[in-house]
Amino acid sequence: MPKPEAVTLKQLRALQAVAEHGSLTAAAEAIRLTPPAVHSQLRQLETSFNARLLERGPQGGARLTRQGEAVLVGARAIETALEACADHVRAINEGMEGMVTLGVVATARYFAPRLVAELQRAFSTVDVILRVGSRDEIVNALASASVDLAIMGRPPRHPEVQATVLGPHPYILIARPGHPLAAQGRVAPEAIMAQPVVTREEGSGTRILLERYLERLGRGRPARVIEVDGDETMKQAVMAGLGIALISRHTVIEELRAGRLVELEAEALPLVRQWFLVHRADTALSAAGRRVHGHIVGRQGGFLPK
């Protein structure tokens, strides 16, 4: 019975060379082997298939039998598959193909989908997967290597990351239209401290920033804080009149333009932080990851809301 598992690429290439050049001598010269070496490869190939693959041709040359022709078809299919495989590997090595997971904190979801769409247009053969989560979730994803790159407002201490500044990230105080503070121009610290303040959950970047801001304004005096889940709920709570809020301007661009929210003028505002693109310092990015990283950094924050 044929034993295809014993067949080698060298044997198949010897058969292809004989089929192309018509003799063992010419085949040996073409693939840079001696005629006895080619003869040996072909004898092993015939043993593996349990069939005679060559016969003497006209003028002392060699030609393939019907069995030899059948093996030749398989050899050419294998060669084509290997060439396609090599092209695929080369594309992956050069970052032309692959998958890159981009994690973003919840506040960035207002611009991240447009950025990912831009990346897909720029690198149509690279799958860019968007993952949105809280700061803790994205930091944990970096730690577990389940995201390749992440966009956040404050790089973590653990895991150790390489961070690149993408652009400014301003935080502002917002209120509903008609709120008493909206007509005051520059709002005094005392007036802010007298208002209930809507904010995110403990541990979020927005909550940490708010607590530091209120500590600065109130000099230790406590403020009334209303905790809600997420930026969208914050906006709805402010529009409903539950209080004012310190929030990323990038999350309320549309509401400010439409007049559903107003920006308050106050001391030290806006609080301008930075957006960072980070990746683990101890893990090399794939070629596709490097291309995506380079594209995002090269945009110099052009994808951020204005």
If one counts every other C-beta atom within 10 angstroms of the C-beta of residue 13, the result is 19
CATH number for the domain formed by residue range(s) 4-75: 1.10.10.10
State pLDDT tens for residues 204-238.
Answer: 888 889 999 999 888 878 889 999 988 999 999 99
Please give the helix or strand (H or E) that residue 237 lies within, else none.
helix 231-239
CATH architecture of the domain 169-272 equals 3-Layer(aba) Sandwich (3.40)
Superfamily name with CATH number, domain 97-168+274-299? Periplasmic binding protein-like II (3.40.190.10)
Q: pLDDT tens digit string along 244-264?
A: 999 999 999 999 999 999 999
pLDDT band at 23 (very low <50, low <70, confident <90, very high): confident
Identify the pLDDT of residue 278: 98
Check pLDDT > 60 for residue 91: no
Task: Measure the CA–CA gap between 135 and 154, rounded to whole angstroms.
Answer: 9
- Confidence grade of residue 193 (pLDDT, cut at 50, 70, 90): very high
138 close to 109: Cβ distance less than 8 angstroms: no
The pairing of beta strand 62-64 with beta strand 54-56? antiparallel
Question: 38 pLDDT exceeds 90?
Answer: no
pLDDT bracket for residue 168 (50, 70, 90): very high
Note the pLDDT of residue 159.
Answer: 93
Numbered ranges of CATH 3.40.190.10 in the chain: 97-168+274-299, 169-272
- DSSP codes joined into one string, 124-154: TTEEEEEEEE-HHHHHHHHHTT--SEEEESS
Task: Work out the average pLDDT over 11-16.
Answer: 88
Which pTM does this prediction carry?
A: 0.69
Burial class (CB in 10 A: 0-12, 13-18, 19+), 259: exposed
Which residues make up the CATH 1.10.10.10 domain(s) of the chain? Answer: 4-75
Rounded to an integer, the average pLDDT of 3-17 is: 86
